[in-house]
Structure 1
Amino acid sequence: MSAGRLRRTLQIMEFTMKKLIFVIALGLTLAGAPAFAYDYRYDNRATYVSPGRSGLDWRINRLNRMLAHVRWQLSRYRGDWHLRREVDRISVQVNRVNWRYRHGYDTWRLRREIDSLRYELHQIEMRLHVRYGDYYRWD
């Protein structure tokens, strides 16, 4: 008789544990539902835009990425010492542009210098005879 009672007690405890696991899973599911109901249309993204810079930070970032890409191309396509020296000169100018940007230099001049440096980097790509798929997309 005691074995039957023990079996019944274990069955009740097992059923109770299954109910508890189900309730916890249901609670976690319902708690996560409001996270998916967030409306992104009214998201205020003003913190991601620096006012008054008119996209200059985007241009600086793009210039730095292009310089890194041209350095990679220079090592891959084995550019001669003339091209390496020119990339080093452009690298110094890019560092100067980065410093001027961080210290609040004239945005119009910076934009003009950035465009000029990107043009020079593109000319180096052309002289390296880079394959079509390896050109840096600078649109």
Structure 2
Amino acid sequence: MKAMAEPGPGLGSPGSGRPGSVSLAVSSSLSAFSSLRRYGTELSVGELKRKLELVVGVSAPWMELELRDAGGELLARLEPDDALLGSFPVSDGCGLHAAALQSALRMGSRMTSQGWQQEMQLSPLQQPGAFIHLADP
């Protein structure tokens, strides 16, 4: 007969909704807005980052995650990417803050629905509505 593990924070504790999931207030260093999201505690940090890309506007490789209590105090930095969300002191009502690494901000990158793209200057001929007038022979 297998021994049952005691549920810990975020692992099916009372009031957590579904067993093995937590409701987190997700915020980003790129936005003043936050949203309430539910994630499974069995997700790895890397998987969580990929799920958050379009929510917070930061690409997973350039994202740093911080777990905060309801008062905004830092509980843990979520690393490494192969660690499970449930291995951190996570519970309903915690904050999950996504920050863009400084190197990503210096590159002048921006997030689109297709992923990260480098900002670039268009020449006058590449501007929308530009055309080339060819002289008559």
Instruction: Assess same fold via TM > 0.5.
Output: no
* TM-score, length of structure 2 as denominator length: 0.26
Which structure's residues are more often strand, by fraction?
A: 2
* TM-score, length of structure 1 as denominator length: 0.26
Q: Which one has the largest radius of gyration?
A: 1
Which structure's residues are more often helix, by fraction?
A: 1
